[in-house]
Amino acid sequence: MPNRSKVQSTTHLSPKMKPLGILGGGQLARMLALKAHELGIPVSVLSEHADDPAAQVTSLWIRGRLDDAETLRTFLSGCSVVTFESEFLDANLLSKLEAATRTSIAPRPADMAALQDRLSQKRLLTQHRLPTSEYFAVATAEEAGQAFESLGGSVGGAVVFKKRRFGYDGYGTFVVRTRKDLKAFLANFDEIPGSEHGFIAERFIPFRRELALMVARSKSGQTTRMPFVETFQKDSRCLWVKGPIKKSPALERLGRSLEKFLGNVGYVGVMGVELFDTGNGLLINELAPRVHNSGHYSMDALSEDQFALHLKCILDLPFEKPEPLSKGFAMMNLLGSSDRAPKWRLPADCKLHWYGKSLNRPGRKMGHYNVLAASPAKALALALKHRNAFKV
Ligand SMILES: Nc1ncnc2c1ncn2[C@@H]1O[C@H](COP(=O)(O)OP(=O)(O)O)[C@@H](O)[C@H]1O
Ligand SMILES: [Mg+2]
């Protein structure tokens, strides 16, 4: 069992330092802000609404839009370092403002730019010899048809088209299984919002299971990773996570390559990595330059959680490798199923993290809970059983 006291950092933080800034006010920003408070790091949040999940948890909330240059400039000037909860910001603008204000943004805007576009992300993976599926860039309906043929769609394999930009939780992912599907997709091609940025096309991977892990690198180059976990997506949206996954040489090799990759690109912060386990190998599905839903289990199940790790990386504080506190853990997302006010009876062994969203909505991420148990399977069974206690 890891010693929690060893995880404490030695660098001096002062509550009088300029606050750490977070761009965005959703649940990821909220959990980051709450962890910053725990570590004695003052934190400021820039978002549009006073009832945003993260706006509720800091007195240093600033109202403003994340696409307004003057708002961003003023916000950056008031912060020691700035991070973000979504990679879909204007990376070019952020890069200019970082230079103008001399407030560093981490992860760097250049890394945000590379990962916010699925095409440049795929190129980056390939360039660094990280395993990912074959892909084609698709800018027009004609190229979509060609990609479908090249990927074997016409011989019965399904093809997945993904918007290059702004896709999340399955919005922006289109599975084309037949020529008839393809016709419907092509007929609609120009009307799909965001289609002007183009798509990538890849084969549908009949995966055995989906896996994920968080990797991390500090400003001065320390790297680490969290355990591999299994994730389960329903309608392309994460429903649960369980872990840790039994170690294997292939997983360890990939984990090491990912840490090396962060060093090679000079990345700063945590990065979420989603994977397909094909039963025959591992393929990276996507990377996210931020804290990630698949890492929420770490809040209760590891010696150091992804939020603390991210903060330490960007403030250049030392950290230990996060280790599991139990033999099994699971995380259950609480997704809205209606617009009624949520109600629950909290089971004693559920560690609840509620996001404080003002409105419930079908499919909306309202909160999550973690459970610990003697094995991953037992933790998942418990988490599934406890889902009945929540009317969300
Ligand atoms: N090539 C693929 N083959 C099979 N399933 C896929 C493929 N790409 C995506 N999916 C499924 O859709 C989910 C969402 O796609 P993903 O690329 O992760 O986009 P998002 O940014 O919306 O999470 C994945 O977690 C996986 O379940
Ligand atoms: Mg995904």
Reported pTM: 0.94
**Residue 131's CB: how many other CB atoms inside 10 A?**
16
pLDDT per position as a tens digit, 325-342: 999 999 999 999 999 999
What ligand has the least distance to the C-alpha of 121? 1
CA torsion, points 282, 283, 289, 290, in degrees to nearest 10? Answer: -50
Note the pLDDT tens digit of each residue in 66-76: 999 999 999 99
- Tell me, in angstroms, the distance from the centre of ligand 1 to residue 170's CA: 7
Mind listing the pLDDT tens digit for each residue in 111-158? 999 999 999 999 999 999 999 999 999 999 999 999 999 999 888 899
Ligand with an atom nearest the CA of residue 237: 1
**Residues within 5 A (CB) of ion ligand 2:** 274
Q: Whose CA is nearest to atom 12 of ligand 1?
A: 236
- Count Cβ atoms below 10 Å from residue 317 Cβ, excluding itself: 22
Q: What is the pLDDT of residue 291?
A: 98
| Pairing, β 199-203 against β 159-163 | antiparallel
Measuring from atom 10 of ligand 1, which residue has the nearest CA? 236
The per-residue pLDDT of the chain, averaged, comes to 95
Two tokens, residue 334: 């609480």
